[in-house]
Amino acid sequence: MRSADVKSGDRDLEFGRLARAILDKWGVGSQACNNGVLFLVSFEDRYMYIATGKGAAERLTNSRIDSIVGSTRKLLRQKDDDKAILFAVQSIAESLSKEPTWVDSLWQFASNLFFFAIVGGGFLFTGMLMVQSWKKSRRVKDVRGKLKKIQDERDKSRDVPNFSSPSCPICLEDFTEEPQVERLKKQSLRCGHTFHSGCIEDWLRTSARQTCPICQQNAFGDSPTERKDGSQGQNGDSTVAGAYPVHFRLRRLHYLYPDVVAQTHVDGWLRDPYCDFVGEYDALLARSQNHNGRNGSSSSYSFGGGSSSGGGGGGGGW
């Protein structure tokens, strides 16, 4: 049930934003003409995007970009990555040099391309780090959203009798009305706790005991049972997690997002389950960023001061 970092319907929009952000950060192209072009490829996500400044967009049109992306996609699907990248770069260069006013600048472009080939390894590594940073920022945003929901549901459960959570405690995603997928349908156990059908089925199938992961009562039996040991199963449940729905959800948040939610975060929230989860999380992130800044982890690069303002772009997966 857990969503991907970039939803399929938003991939072009999100990668477009990322490509333009890198183009602007690096200042690709002339500041006066905004003729920069940035070709972004994420092999992990199997997605590429070409972003242009206003000057380059006059020659490298969106329709031409779509054509280049389509042809490059075929080569990437054939696992010929080197040939695909070379084809895309050559096609971009050809498009930019077609106008007569660009003929005299072709050799300059070729020399710039040669320079890019020399230093490209370093910038490619930097680009990969930026992609990783972008993905991490999206996961942090997802965590903040889920923390806010856990906090709101915690407060409502104290004020509203028989409060029913609108989200699944295992995957932390909202329930949907009349879901089309069987696994997304709601399923309530005899204790009253409700989950996505697929989530609770997977949980019980991999659990040593057929009990509710929150309250530890028999999932389908007639009498409650107690967990005799405090061991931690492969799903990340524990005796403490089974004691309170909020505790269980916080531990699940760590299980789903271990790269941005540390065990120390969860331990702090469990010590004060009525604290401001989001505020505490933001404070921890700020302290971490300040520490990284003091260690000199930030850096910046610039080519000619160009930007993506007024430009175009397009992309696609393979």
Condensed to tens digits (0 to 9), the pLDDT of residues 34-67 reads 788 888 888 878 889 999 888 888 788 888 898 9
Q: Is the pLDDT of residue 6 over 70?
A: no
Average pLDDT value for residue range 107-117: 51
b/e 149-167 (16+ beta carbons within 10 angstroms → b): bbbebbeeeeeeeeeebeb
- When pLDDT is cut at 50, 70 and 90, the band that residue 129 belongs to is low
Pairwise CA distance, residues 186 & 184, whole Å: 6
pTM over 0.85: no
- CATH of segment(s) 8-136+305-317: 3.10.310
Q: What's the confidence (pLDDT) of residue 228?
A: 38
Distance CA 316, CA 68 (A): 10
pLDDT at residue 296 tops 80: no
Residues β-bridged to residue 195 = 187
